[in-house]
Amino acid sequence: MSIKILQGDITKLNVDAIVNAANRSLLGGGGVDGCIHRAAGKELLAECRTLGGCPTGEAKVTGGYKLPCRYVIHTVGPVWSGGDRDEEKLLTSCYENSLVLAAEKGCSTVAFPLISAGVYGYPKDDAFRVAYDTIGRFLEEKGSDMEVSIVIFDRADYEKYKSIYG
Ligand code: ADP
């Protein structure tokens, strides 16, 4: 089982699939979503327009276009509203559904940003724990040898999670 913790910009990674923290429209936004659309080019938005959006907790896949990755898996994290609106369950589903799609596409390397931990306000340490635990459980249960990275944008956060989990 292989989970890596990386620091940097997810759009630069040479992996089979990167995961996007999208919104339900799938038509682009700020944060990592904006970075991914800018780096992929307008063909990504054109494909996203054909998908009819995506419910919270679910995931849809597109091509990577100008990105170095082959696929972008778009998942919609929950907006944090105190923790009693199924946020943890929905965030868990984001990771699980994204990994199911990655496996279906035959990906052996996948990278996730910290879904919901930016504009959507999920407390970062909890968001990291959900990511780490869910990915670990998925790989173990499926006996998968997929190599999954969690990409932390902020260097101080990266140092913290690396020292706790690395
Ligand atoms: P959400 O709306 O799901 O909260 P955001 O894009 O606002 O999504 O933030 C999710 C996480 O992605 C945050 O931790 C943010 O720091 C991080 N992030 C932003 N840009 C990038 C990038 N280019 N690569 C990796 N992570 C990024």
Give the Å distance between the CA of 22 and the centre of ligand 1: 10
Tokens of 70: 């082959």
How far lies 161's CA from each of 4, 56, 97, 156, in Å?
11, 26, 24, 9
For ligand 1, the distance from its centroid to the CA atom of residue 96, given in whole angstroms, is 19
Q: What is the mean pLDDT of residues 88-109?
A: 98
Give the residue whose CA is nearest to atom 1 of ligand 1.
116
| Ligand 1 atom 22: residue of nearest CA | 9
| pLDDT confidence bin for 87, thresholds 50/70/90 | very high
pLDDT of 1 over the 70 cut: no
pLDDT for the residue numbered 56 = 98
- Which residue's structure tokens are 């494909």? 47
Using the mean position of ligand 1's atoms as its centre, give its distance from the Cα of residue 138 in Å: 22
Q: Residues 13, 149: contact at Cβ < 8 Å? A: yes
User: pLDDT at residue 55 above 80?
Assistant: yes
Tokens of 27: 């038509």
For 105, list phi and psi in degrees, rounded to 5: -85, 0
